Chains A and B, each alone.
Chain A
Amino acid sequence: MRYSLVRQILILAVLALIPAVGGAVYFRHKISWRSAILPSEMVTVDQARAWGENVIWVDARPDEEFARDHVPAALSLNEDRWNELLPQFLAAWSPGKKIVVYCSSLGCNASREVARRLRREAQLPDVFVLEGGWEEWLKKR
Chain B
Amino acid sequence: MKTHIVAFALSILISLSARAELKWEQTMIELHPTSADKQAIGHFKYQNPGKTPVRFKSVHASCGCTTAQTQKDEVPPGGTGEITATFNIGDRTGTQVKTVTVETDDAANTKTVLTLRTIIPQQLEINPTFVFWKQGDKADPKTITVKVGKEFTVKHIKVTSSSPDFQTKVEETGKGEFKVDVQPKETNNLVASTLSIQPEDSQKVFYATARITNSPVVQ
Contacts and interface: CB of A to CB of B under 8 A. Distances in A.
Interface of A: 4, 8, 11-12, 15, 30-33, 54, 61-62, 65, 78-84, 86-87, 90-91, 93-97, 104, 107-110, 113, 121-124
Contacts of A122: 128-130
A109 to B, nearest CB: 6
B11 to A, nearest CB: 12
Contact of B130 (A32, A33, A108, A123): A123
The interface size bin for chain B is 35 or more
Nearest to A84: B91
B98 A90 contact: no
Contact of B64 (A11, A32, A65, A107): A65
Interface of B: 1, 5, 8-9, 28, 62-65, 88, 90-92, 97-99, 115, 117, 126-130, 132, 134, 192, 194, 206-207, 209, 211, 213-219
Contact of B97 (A33, A107, A110): A33
A97 B216 CA distance: 8
Contacts of B65: 62, 79-80
A78 B128 CA distance: 18
A84 B74 CA distance: 42
A139 to B, nearest CB: 21
A104 B126 CA distance: 29
